[in-house]
Amino acid sequence: MLKKTLEKVLQLLNMKYIPKKQTPIAVVYKKKSGSRYWLKVFTDLRCPDPLLGNRTSKLPYGCEIIEIGHGAAFANKYKKKYNI
């Protein structure tokens, strides 16, 4: 019994960390020069607050954010709406 318990503990210690899957965040933006819309989906963020800051490196510098959606359905919705 003790041997089985020790084996289970060792298995748990050797497991790799698997990050929790986050809800995707879809962002539609326009670059500084141009009228084309771009779509970027983030799956590693819990909330869109880091995208709204001035000093973010996740979006191109000087881009204009058109829409932000929190959920899987927004990527398809924005693709249809903006012909991306």
Q: Would you kindly state where each structural domain of the chain is located, as residue ranges?
A: 18-82
CA–CA gap between residue 67 and residue 43 (Å, rounded): 17
Please write the tens of the pLDDT for every residue from 28-43. Answer: 999 988 889 999 999 9
Looking at residue 15, its pLDDT comes to: 66
Other Cβ atoms less than 10 A from the Cβ of 72: the count is 12
pLDDT over 90 (residue 77): yes
Please report, to the nearest 10 degrees, the dihedral formed by the alpha carbons of residues 67, 68, 74, 80 taken in order: 20
Asked if 62 and 32 touch (Cβ cutoff 8 Å), the reply is yes
Mean pLDDT of 65-84: 93
pTM across the whole model:
0.72
Please write the tens of the pLDDT for every residue from 13-29. Answer: 776 666 677 889 999 99
CA-based end-to-end distance of the chain: 59
